[in-house]
Structure 1
Amino acid sequence: MPIKAVIMAFSVAVIWGVNMLTVKGAVGEIPPFILTAMRFAAVAILLLPFTQVPRGRFGKLALISVTFGGLHFGVLFYALSMIDAGPVAIIILLGVPFSSMLATYFFNDRLGWKRLSGMALAFIGVTIMFWDPTMTELQLPLLLVVFASFMWAVANVMIKKLGDIDTFQLNGWMALMAAPQLLIMSLIFEPNGFEAVMNASWVAYANLAFTVVMSSIVAYGFWYHLLKTQDVNVVVPWTLLAPVISVMGSFLVFDEPFSLLKIIGGTVVLCGVAVIMLRKPVQRKAQGMD
């Protein structure tokens, strides 16, 4: 890749890696559902003035706002309020094998034995992490992260089926539709949510600003530009740096403990996801089509 593309890819990995830490810091003061609602509201305010109305796509964008907004980010932020950032950064990578599985059905991709092996490694690695004694009382949030990763994969399929759409238009209108959903969830499950928002420190708001501006707008803007201009198989592996940065940062910032099973499981997950990312999917020949 050209040096400019390398810098952009590295920047995306760093931003996404740090973003996991900023979200963890923010949910320590602001309940997760109202925090996610604020995130999407801010993204919509910043992006919508620069986008056109997506005529004929409101229905599909509404469905994406449910899967990507409420069921991915909402559930992920909720899990982060109960569990360390390090394991979350690793487990959320299951979105990659889940995406491969869905692609075999929706896009006629053929997995092949190497990608199947990578998928198996990823799930084995997460299982090893589940066995860690320090995680025995955290099975629910761990399963919620797995669910959030699956919703990420579902949202990716829906976005791909949406066709060619401007990044700001997609993120802005999806955010506008997701924000009220998360606000309703907050009103139901977080009775003290508004009070927590009013009492939050400037650090919590700085963390929120980072995830809105740097992760949602800058990183995704860089990412979609790279996917359009560079070989996908060269760009995508850069994302493996993000969980490494998150894990190291969680240790330095939050003093999160390491354990042998966490290290082994996380390494196995990273290896499995790397195999999937580095194998270019082969499409089956369509049969019975004109």
Structure 2
Amino acid sequence: MPKALQPIVLTTIALIAFAANSVLCRMALKDEGVDPSFFTLVRLLSAVGTLLIIALFTNRMKGLLSQGSWLAGFALFAYAAAFSFGYVSLNTATGALVLFAAVQLSMLIIHSFSGHRISKSELFGGCCAAGGLVYWLLPELQQPTVFGFLLMLLAGVSWAFYTVLGRSSTDSMSATAANFLRASVMATPLILLIPEQHSLGDKGIILAITSGAIASGLGYVIWYVALKHLSGNRAGLVQLLVPMIAALGGIIWVNEPITLRLLVAGLLVLGGVYVAMTPWGRVGKN
């Protein structure tokens, strides 16, 4: 693969994993009735299992816990738990809008406080992409509950901090494995919150394992690698593509219709991200 294409390919794979996570989470919580605390714990433990197996076969077990940090582990735990519990009281559109708005705004603030200036192309492109996302989701938006809104806001902010912390990682696989292990320790008490009458179901467990082992574990390793090629603001911006990728998956796999609203929104989001990723109008360091 040409070296110039590696960042694009890695980022695309990571974003597909993020979209898959959203779909798997919603299917498990809404369709299968899996408790959010159980889903969070199984998701994290599944990721740990997958990454530890990879670490074992790649001789990375020694000194594994020296990678990552407890702060990154806490950010990952806070994101995973808030994401699961938040989606219980929010529909897909509202949850997606709050989550990605929080991620983008948090990344923008962190990027600015780090001494970086936002380029004109990033500002204009970001506004176009965010506007496209709002335009697409607007018909399905519902008045969110205060609790659900705050939880999804927490998920977005936590994910932004986890993304920023991942930029300094020297061994993406080991750091991700160590962070998931720490997050799993923090998530273990959540199992006590599972109502006994809640049906967990085999399919729900499979969804949680798939989300953890593949979409989270492997997806986040790839994301940590991709971050080395993205500025802080652009790392937040490209994630606005996740809902569009999920919509594309719905068209391909679930035969969902292609609407004019989706096409217009897709053009705005894709066009905005493209403009933001070009050097046009750059006024400061990225």
Please, what TM-score do these two structures have when normalized by structure 2? 0.71
For the residue of structure 1 that corresponds to 2:89, the secondary structure is coil
Q: Deviations over 1:21-62 (max 9, x none)?
A: 1111112322212211121122223323523334666xx711
Q: Quick one: distance in 2 between partners of 1:250 and 1:90?
A: 18
CA 1:12–1:113 in structure 2 vs 1: closer, same or farther (change >3 Å)? closer
CA 1:202–1:208 in structure 2 vs 1: closer, same or farther (change >3 Å)? same
| Corresponding residue to 2:76 among 59, 68, 71 | 68
Following superposition of structure 1 onto structure 2, how do residues 107-186 of structure 1 map, counting pairs within 5 Å? 108-118=115-125, 134-138=141-145, 140-160=147-167, 163-186=168-191
Q: Quick one: distance in 1 between partners of 2:140 and 2:28?
A: 27
Aligned partner of 2:63 in structure 1 is 53
Aligned partner of 1:82 in structure 2 is 89
The residue type equivalent to 1:170 in the other structure is: A
Aligned partner of 1:93 in structure 2 is 100
The alpha-carbon deviation at position 166 of structure 1 amounts to 1.6
The alpha-carbon deviation at position 136 of structure 1 amounts to 1.9
Q: Quick one: distance in 2 between partners of 1:218 and 1:65?
A: 16
Aligned partner of 2:42 in structure 1 is 38
Please, what TM-score do these two structures have when normalized by structure 1? 0.70
Q: Quick one: distance in 2 between partners of 1:9 and 1:159?
A: 14
Gaps of 5+ in 1: 285-290
Whether the 8 Å contact between 1:14 and 1:241 is mirrored in structure 2 is no
For the residue of structure 2 that corresponds to 1:135, the secondary structure is coil
Aligned partner of 2:220 in structure 1 is 220
Query: How many aligned residue pairs are there?
Result: 268
Instruction: Compare 31-40 and 90-99 and name the one that shifted more.
Output: 90-99
Aligned partner of 1:24 in structure 2 is 26
The residue type equivalent to 2:285 in the other structure is: Q
Q: Quick one: distance in 2 between partners of 1:281 and 1:186?
A: 49
CA 1:132–1:241 in structure 2 vs 1: closer, same or farther (change >3 Å)? closer
The alpha-carbon deviation at position 154 of structure 1 amounts to 1.8
CA 1:131–1:21 in structure 2 vs 1: closer, same or farther (change >3 Å)? closer
Q: Quick one: distance in 1 between partners of 2:276 and 2:159?
A: 16
Q: Quick one: distance in 1 between partners of 2:119 and 2:9?
A: 32
The residue type equivalent to 2:188 in the other structure is: L
Q: Quick one: distance in 2 between partners of 1:140 and 1:67?
A: 19
Q: Quick one: distance in 2 between partners of 1:180 and 1:254?
A: 40
Aligned partner of 1:288 in structure 2 is none
For the residue of structure 1 that corresponds to 2:95, the secondary structure is helix
Whether the 8 Å contact between 2:126 and 2:273 is mirrored in structure 1 is yes
Whether the 8 Å contact between 2:89 and 2:148 is mirrored in structure 1 is yes
Instruction: Compare 138-147 and 176-185 and name the one that shifted more.
Output: 138-147
